[in-house]
């Protein structure tokens, strides 16, 4: 199993050393736990794909500690500058033209001339990024296509010894991956909904397109999280369920009176932010041996509920 260390200055220093030397480090962000490697080191990045069994055509997000580091690898226009100044650090990833001499491995960008970049809103994550001194490619720290990890135990259970170090920072606060916005063209495109809402973005830079959340030509994604089947537990997921069928675990939302070992409530208060934070942990807890499936009751399709339902639709999609 991977070495697990707590949140300390020594842990940050050790994480930086491992990342600079080409190793893999899992660390918490406000969204989910990431699996980090030096984005300029092709061999290190290849270890991410090997550990996750991730398709090499699926690009990665590069994490940076500050905007200065982001501008060294990506070209910012006025829209990007406004969003970074207002919404960073935070759960927003920007797809931008890759800067000349960025040094970013082609494995990170899947050969595209764009790069996905974000600055996490998590003190421990940014401390590790600053200590590493290099841009860090960091997808979620789980086997490809499976449920994303929101606690250090999820990482060790899913990836085990494939990770050199897990920096434990407790449960993540947001619980679902970042919003992804493509700014590489003349009109912004929302590629993945998340905690930063479309309305927040449009209030700053004007209208955005909402039709880019699935992989494009020939099923080739331009950003993470666009494959039809993703975020999936081993058990099949059934959406908009009224009740559990025999052998199913039921995931509910709101003031649902059903209780017991076979029922998990994302938020008894009906709080969508709380539901988002609990979503992946609930899917992992419901994915029990011997159960026939996971039933999920209806989740309001508004605000961050749009992102929750995006993850659930992909979790329930037919497996390839």
Sign of the dihedral defined by the CA atoms of residues 114, 115, 118, 119, in that order: negative
Q: How far apart are the first and last CA of the chain?
A: 29
Q: Which residue has the tokens 């909402």?
A: 210
* Domain match, 242 and 128 both: no
Cα three-residue angle 215-83-142, rounded to 5 degrees: 45
Enter the tokens of residue 1: 């199993």
Q: 189 lies in a domain?
A: no
* Domain match, 257 and 133 both: no
- For the chain, the maximum distance between any two Cα atoms, rounded to a whole number of angstroms, is 58
Of 180, 199, 221, the domain-final residue: 180
3-state SS class at 21 = coil
Helix 152-159 to helix 272-286 angle, to the nearest 10 degrees?
30
- Summarize pLDDT for 146-178 with one digit per residue, the tens: 999 999 999 999 998 999 999 999 999 999 999
* Domain match, 129 and 18 both: yes
> Quick one: which of 141, 174, 256 has its CA closest to 295?
256
Say whether the peptide bond before residue 89 is cis (omega within 30 degrees of 0): yes
pLDDT along the chain (320 residues), means of 10: 76 97 98 98 95 85 98 98 98 97 94 96 97 97 94 95 95 96 96 96 96 58 66 92 96 94 96 96 95 97 95 88
Enter the tokens of residue 188: 């912004």
CB 303, CB 197: distance < 8 Å: yes
Q: How many domains does one find in the chain?
A: 2
- Give the CATH number, domain containing residue 304: 3.40.50.11030
Per DSSP, the chain holds a count of helices (H) and strands (E) of 10, 14
* Domain match, 19 and 102 both: yes
Cα three-residue angle 96-196-120, rounded to 5 degrees: 65
What pLDDT sits at residue 143? 94
Q: 215 lies in a domain?
A: no
Q: 266 lies in a domain?
A: yes
- In this structure, are strands 136-137 and 61-63 parallel, antiparallel, or unpaired? antiparallel
Give the whole-angstrom CA distance, residue 112 versus residue 127: 29
* Domain match, 142 and 59 both: yes
* Domain match, 144 and 244 both: no
Burial letters 253-289, b for 16+ CB under 10 A, else e: bbebeeeeeebbbbbeeeebebbbbbbbbbbbebbee
* Domain match, 265 and 116 both: no
* Domain match, 26 and 171 both: yes
Q: 131 lies in a domain?
A: yes
Q: 258 lies in a domain?
A: yes
* Domain match, 10 and 150 both: yes
What pLDDT sits at residue 57? 75
What pLDDT sits at residue 217? 47
Q: 278 lies in a domain?
A: yes
- Summarize pLDDT for 81-127 with one digit per residue, the tens: 999 999 999 999 999 999 999 999 999 998 899 999 999 999 999 99
Segments forming the whole domain that contains residue 145: 3-180
Other Cβ atoms within 10 Å of 214 Cβ, number: 14
Enter the tokens of residue 3: 């070495």
What pLDDT sits at residue 218? 47
Q: 118 lies in a domain?
A: yes
Q: What is the chain's percent helix, strand, coil content, to nearest 5?
A: 30, 20, 50
* Domain match, 244 and 162 both: no
* Domain match, 28 and 172 both: yes
* Domain match, 160 and 244 both: no
Q: 195 lies in a domain?
A: no
What pLDDT sits at residue 4? 74
- Give the CATH number, domain containing residue 94: 3.90.870.10
Enter the tokens of residue 163: 């990770």
């Amino acid at each position: 199993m991977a070495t697990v260390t707590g949140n300390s200055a020594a842990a940050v220093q050790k994480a930086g050393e491992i990342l600079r030397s080409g190793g893999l480090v899992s660390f918490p962000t406000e969204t989910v736990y990431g699996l980090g490697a030096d984005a300029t080191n092709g061999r290190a990045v290849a270890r991410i794909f090997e550990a996750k069994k991730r398709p090499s055509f699926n690009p990665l997000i590069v994490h940076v500690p500050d905007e200065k580091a982001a501008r060294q690898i990506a070209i910012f226009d006025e829209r990007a500058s406004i969003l970074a100044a207002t919404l960073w650090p935070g759960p927003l990833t920007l797809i931008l033209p890759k800067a000349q001499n960025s040094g970013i491995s082609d494995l990170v960008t899947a050969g595209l001339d764009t790069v996905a970049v974000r600055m996490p809103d998590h003190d421990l994550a940014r401390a590790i990024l600053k200590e590493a001194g290099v841009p860090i490619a960091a997808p979620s720290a789980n086997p490809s296509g499976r449920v994303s990890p929101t606690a250090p135990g999820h990482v060790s259970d899913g990836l085990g010894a494939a990770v050199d170090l897990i920096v434990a920072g407790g449960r993540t606060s947001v619980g679902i991956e970042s919003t992804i916005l493509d700014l590489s063209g003349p009109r912004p495109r929302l590629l993945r909904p998340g905690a930063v809402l479309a309305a927040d973005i449009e209030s700053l830079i004007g209208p955005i397109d909402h039709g880019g959340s699935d992989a494009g030509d020939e099923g080739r994604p331009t950003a993470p999280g666009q494959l039809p089947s993703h975020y999936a537990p081993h058990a099949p997921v059934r959406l908009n369920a009224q009740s559990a069928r025999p052998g199913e675990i039921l995931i509910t939302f709101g003031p649902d009176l059903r209780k017991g070992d076979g029922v998990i409530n994302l938020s008894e208060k009906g709080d969508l932010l709380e539901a988002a934070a609990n979503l992946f942990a609930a899917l992992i807890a419901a994915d029990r041996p011997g159960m026939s499936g996971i039933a999920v009751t209806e989740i309001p399709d508004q605000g961050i509920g749009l992102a929750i339902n995006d993850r659930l639709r992909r979790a329930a999609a037919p497996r390839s």
